[in-house]
Chains A and B, each alone.
Chain A
Amino acid sequence: MIIFCGMSIMLLPLILILWLSVTSNEILALPVEGYSFRWFSEAFRQPQFLSGFLLSVTVATFATVAGLIVSVPAALVIVRRRFWGREALIQLLMSPLTVPAIVIGAALYITVVEVEIASGVPLVGSTAIFAAGHVLLTIPWCVRLLLASMEGLNQSIEEAAASLGASPASVIWRVTLPLIRPAMFAAGVFAFVVSFGNLEVSIFLSGPGQVTLPVAVMQYLEWKIDPTIAAVSVLQVLFVAVMLVISDRFVNISRMV
């Protein structure tokens, strides 16, 4: 019974959004006055939603890959080595989670401005800084999931490989990485979702004309509250669901996430 209640509370926003997206109400509110699919066509008529979606996918993909490239070696070193400052390093890598995202966005922006004033390099509004901000968001999620997975890893498999003559690089490439592949995948899924849905860092760091989907949705809401945004959300949920189903064929993520 408790499980059922919990499940329905979790599903409620999804069901409500799905329901409201097909109502004919001009305002996103109950009661429902009729049904219509016109908000979906309205969503496609707003160019900023499609371009925002494509930009968000691009940025989130980059941030996920870069986040993993940073986090996998970091997690390996943290799990395999005991060194001074190890705990501090873990806290440092987790710190973007403890600071509100809007503060990260504003702080990075101010820092970038100061660096540009000092160096003359045009950084403000550049794609590189925008992407770097998103990578920062993905790191704690990747590191936490990878650490959890690696700590449970049976080290004797790696030792066996090494004793049979495999070089350290070969052990990592042929034994460790395949073993943590599900964790890497799960970390990637989290990283993608965190970056894809981020509003606060994007609003400060994205360059002129670079409008991600969350920013476009929020800006749309500033003037209109019709169910177009519900339609956009339904499409977004569908996209994520399809991605998860496809990826489930490769890695059993339900076991990991």
Chain B
Amino acid sequence: MIGINRRNFGLLAGGFLASTAMPAFAQAKGRIVVGTWGGDYQNLQQAHIADAVLKDSGIQVIFDPANDTVRKAKLLAERRLPRGTMDIACMTRQGSNELFTQGAVEELDETKIPNLSKVLPFIRTKYSVPHIYTGRVILYNPDQVSPAPTSYADLWDPKYAGKIGVIDIQYQTTIESAAMISGGGPSNYEPGKAKLMELKKQGVKVFATNEAMAQALKTGEIVMCIMWNARGYMWQKAGINIEIAIPKEGIAVYLSDMCVPKNAPNKEAAYAYLNAMLEEQPQVAFAENMGYAPTNSEVTLPPELAARVDYTPEQREKFIMPDLEYLLGVDSSLQDFWNKEFKA
């Protein structure tokens, strides 16, 4: 039998009052949920952010791994909830822009992310912190492709007909690459469609995923493809016989962001996490293991690694950034073209 006498009641009431007053001077601590890609992407965050930079911070990090499309669907569905399920959402730049446009993620309070000032200015946004980035390149098998490709147009060389592959989930970037050699560009994908139909006539192979493409490069079924530099680095490390060529049309940029949903339950800790992920150790770990360039401009990679995964100031000046507004508008028509004409 639990009796509550006046004294106990007073203690309980006092404790309750004290606990409600706590958030006013709360430190960033407690549990946060990081919605992220799983596998190595999650493991590296666990090892180099949660278990390293934030080790004694009192922040407990729980990962919620899924593909970004599932994560986006979840965030859009739960945006009207007062308390969401995620404190941090890892997104592609297109994804974070869409989530911000839809009102699902918040405009960041930059004073809470001191490291943000070190981030390369041209990849910053008000709604996301760039985590890692890489450039789009051409991967080729040096035994089969000679001379080395210098342009996306080399994929259309009849010499390689039937040995060129594209990736289903990379439909946007594939159409963009085709547009870049046919009078279009990041803000006009239209000319790319006709150009891709030529590639189709030459017997292009469409692979469902990046991994299927890696297998095809390994077995020699495919000799050349459009890919991210970071994937090229990972595949070289895995023993696939490929070289990386930078197209003369320019380096189009892929960005992975982290955002804070408007209804994140623990925003203070989320901001601490965003700041921690920009620290040198996790940034270098992602470069070494996955081949992504650091977004923190003050992080210096070992020269040999930098040569393979990072970009020189001259290259950065000529980066081709995605036109997010344009992509939001045309995405469904791009999907239509891809599925009904190109793949049909």
- Which A residues lie at the B interface, using CB under 8 A? 25-30, 46, 48, 106, 109-110, 113, 116-117, 122, 124-125, 203-204, 207-209, 211, 215-216, 218-226
Contact = CB atoms under 8 A, between A and B. Distances in A.
Contacts of A209: 33, 62-64
28 contacts: A26-B238, A27-B218, A27-B240, A30-B219, A46-B43, A48-B65, A109-B74, A109-B77, A113-B77, A122-B83, A124-B81, A204-B73, A208-B62, A208-B63, A215-B65, A219-B37, A219-B38, A219-B39, A220-B38, A221-B209, A222-B39, A222-B41, A222-B67, A223-B41, A223-B290, A224-B39, A225-B211, A225-B215
A119 to B, nearest CB: 12
B215 A29 contact: yes
Dominant secondary structure of chain B at its interface with chain A:
mixed
A214 to B, nearest CB: 11
B215 A27 contact: yes
A33 to B, nearest CB: 8
Contact of A223 (B40, B66, B70, B73): B40
| Nearest 6 pairs of A and B residues by beta carbon | A219-B38, A208-B33, A208-B64, A209-B62, A220-B39, A223-B40
Contacts of B33: 208-209
Interface in B22-75: 33, 35, 37-43, 62-67, 70, 73-74
Contacts of A26: 238-239
A203 B38 CA distance: 12
Given A204-B74, A208-B86, A222-B67, A28 B215 contact: yes
A57 B18 CA distance: 43
A204 B70 contact: yes
A30 B339 CA distance: 30
A48 B36 CA distance: 14
Given A27-B218, A48-B38, A215-B38, A221 B211 contact: yes
Given A124-B81, A203-B67, A219-B65, 12 more contacts: A27-B218, A27-B238, A29-B219, A48-B42, A124-B78, A208-B62, A209-B63, A219-B37, A219-B39, A220-B38, A220-B40, A222-B211
B321 interface: no
B85 interface: yes
- Chain B: number of interface residues, binned into ranges: 35 or more
Contacts of A203: 66-67, 70
Interface of B: 33, 35, 37-43, 62-67, 70, 73-74, 77-78, 80-81, 83, 85-86, 209, 211, 214-215, 218-219, 234, 238-240, 290
A218 B37 CA distance: 10
B238 A113 contact: no
Nearest to A225: B211
A223 B85 contact: no
A117 B209 CA distance: 36
B70 A117 contact: no
A193 to B, nearest CB: 23
B77 A110 contact: yes
A81 B39 CA distance: 51
A27 B38 CA distance: 19
A124 to B, nearest CB: 6
Nearest to B240: A27
A209 B86 CA distance: 11
Contacts of B85: 124-125, 207-208
Nearest to B80: A117
A215 B37 CA distance: 11
Nearest to A27: B218
A216 B66 CA distance: 9
Contacts of A30: 219
A233 to B, nearest CB: 15
Contact of A224 (B40, B78, B218): B40
Nearest to B238: A26
B234 A223 contact: yes
B42 A219 contact: yes
Nearest to B87: A208
Contacts of A219: 37-39, 42, 65-66
A27 B80 CA distance: 43
Contacts of A29: 215, 218-219
Contacts of A208: 33, 35, 62-64, 85-86
Contacts of A117: 80-81
Nearest to B290: A223
Given A26-B239, A215-B65, A116 B81 contact: yes
B264 to A, nearest CB: 12
Contacts of A106: 73
A109 B64 CA distance: 15
A117 B290 CA distance: 40
Contacts of B35: 208
Contacts of B39: 219-224
Contacts of B239: 25-27
A101 to B, nearest CB: 13
A9 B278 CA distance: 50
Nearest to A106: B73
A103 to B, nearest CB: 12
Given A29-B219, A204-B70, A226-B238, A113 B62 contact: no
